[in-house]
Amino acid sequence: MKFNCLDKKTLSRCSLVSCAWSSAARTQLFRHLSIRPCSRGRPRAAALLCDPTSTVLGYVRKLVIIEGLPKEDRDREDRGAISLDPSMPGSAYWFDDAFPMMRIRDLTALEKLEVHALLWDRLSTPSRRSLAELCERTPSLHIATWDRLDIPCSAVAELLRGATASALEHFSLLVPDRFSILPVSADKGPLPARADTPLTLKSLRIDPVMGFDLEGLPRCFAALRIPDVALEKVGHGDVEPLTAFLTVCAASLERLSLQFFGPDSGPEQVEPAFIAHGSLSCATGLRELTLEADLARVPSILRQIASPHLVELTLKVDLATPTARRMLLENGVGELAQSLTSGVLAAARPRVSLVVSRHGPRPGKVTAEHAALLEGLAALREEGRLRIMASRPSSADFLCLATSAGLPSKFLSNEIFASTVEPPEMRYLA
């Protein structure tokens, strides 16, 4: 055994790590259990969940399980869109073998479940039933897949229907790196019958957003009661179902985070379509709003805000786009300043946080664009309602850049599902 300490001063974060697997480890008290795939068959660590002699289940608070991806299956046609390092060793599928044998009812302390690289079609009916029962045991559920169609919307609805009836409060569904995955076709599978009960969650996160998810969930539940919604990488084709989804959630929606994903200009730009649909006007109870959008389009989006209760507004913008540079260096930020101090926002007077990024040789450096922001929003600064921060690209940003450039990377493996992406480094400018 090896002592692993992340906080040497207070020892508040420390653990014992098994260097070589031993059956004696089954008697230890693991609060965070992560099981990764191996090259052949079921991982030996899966015995912690399946073996009748294991004593750890009652102490596990966070469970992370990662499905394998055999090397031969990586080259199938439907996997060709995934940019994987050819030298990466393959691993074996093991979920379907282990799920029916898991001692799920003994996971009495489970607080968070993360299921990575899930392939719904490879699960038998008993395995799907066991997974559904496992999801019912946790307040927080995180599902990640290589491709969004690896778990259909109907399966997501079935898992949520059983889980929200018991303990589930937080749900996230994501594909870790959309930059390395080609656009997927629509999920046209049949949806389960509409439930008489509402979908009640404390938070929902979908990354990337797919229109069929936003259309499917309202059809499967009597209502959606979700106060905290984060929808990332919203594409041009997702705007119409997004508007309908926000309308259904409007009565309970208090915190909303939107990230637009698409070209900086042209007919496929997302922001103009979002503005044309008036998508924010229905959310009259918003208290916190986070937008990651083209700076030149932000004023038009802000004018749609109809909530007099807004207390926190966060804007994440890239100053390197042509439209942002033209707005700042040629036209100034008068329109942005006016949108922040007029209409509903004039009465609500929310705190405004601007998180600016500039992908270049020296990200975070104070530039002419930053200076223009500081000057144009001086009134908000004097009121103490504005802070401007510069963000340094995270490792995920560099990973996406390497992927889009076609560069092989040792990081593109099953490990991507288990890695924790650190938040971008922030530097206060004002």
37-61: pLDDT as tens digits: 988 888 988 999 999 988 889 999 9
Which residues in 218-257 are b (16+ Cβ under 10 Å) and which e? bebbeebbbbbbbbbbbbbbbbbbbbbbbbbbbebbbbbb
Q: Give the residue, 371 or 223, on which the prediction is more confident.
A: 223
β strands within 235-375, DSSP E: 255-260, 288-292, 312-318, 351-357
Ordered structural domains, the chain, with CATH? 1-30 (no CATH), 38-69+94-178 (3.40.50)
Q: Report whether pLDDT(36) > 80.
A: yes
| Dist. CA 26–CA 100, nearest whole Å | 20
Of 263, 219, 214, 264, the residue nearest 239 (C-alpha): 214
| Dist. CA 216–CA 339, nearest whole Å | 34
- φ, ψ at 390 (rounded to 5°): -105, 135
The confidence score (pLDDT) of residue 193 equals 82
Average pLDDT over residues 13-40: 67
The confidence score (pLDDT) of residue 210 equals 83
| Dist. CA 336–CA 222, nearest whole Å | 39
Provide the mean pLDDT of the chain. 79
- Pairing state of beta strands 203-207 and 170-174? parallel
β strands within 261-374, DSSP E: 288-292, 312-318, 351-357
| Dist. CA 378–CA 374, nearest whole Å | 6
pLDDT tens by residue, 96-131: 999 999 999 999 999 999 999 999 999 999 999 999
3-state helix, strand, coil in the chain (%, to 5): 35, 20, 45
| Dist. CA 230–CA 291, nearest whole Å | 10
The confidence score (pLDDT) of residue 417 equals 38
In this structure, how many other beta carbons lie within 10 angstroms of the beta carbon of residue 188?
Answer: 8
Six-digit token string for 38: 């191996």
